[in-house]
Amino acid sequence: GQQLNQSPQSMFIQEGEDVSMNCTSSSIFNTWLWYKQDPGEGPVLLIALYKAGELTSNGRLTAQFGITRKDSFLNISASIPSDVGIYFCAGRGNSGGSNYKLTFGKGTLLTVNP
């Protein structure tokens, strides 16, 4: 089955620093999604990627769909305290019945020190 490896598991950074996190897959995906989850809330979509090589920005966030279609990256520039939370990658499969599965990484816990 599809597996996603997300790294790092956690990050502790100073306000103003840039952040990078990534996900790799054992199989090809045709959609990559990045989410942020605040405590007690459901995940909220940050960025959606649909094509290999695609680079998309949402304010200080930038995400890329890897050329191999097996990885994706999320960068946050000039972090601020409200960036604190858990970030998840998710991939949607590319073959047969698994095309409808949406598989999640285990998350990256981001802590920003003011």
Contact residues toward another protein (CB under 8 A) are 1, 6, 33, 35, 40-45, 48, 50, 88, 90, 92, 97, 100-107
User: Six-digit token pair at 77?
Assistant: 């520039």
In angstroms, give the least distance from the CB of 82 to another protein.
19
Q: Which is nearer to another protein, 17 or 38 (CB)?
A: 38
Q: Which is nearer to another protein, 49 or 112 (CB)?
A: 49
In angstroms, give the least distance from the CB of 106 to another protein.
4
Q: Which is nearer to another protein, 47 or 112 (CB)?
A: 47
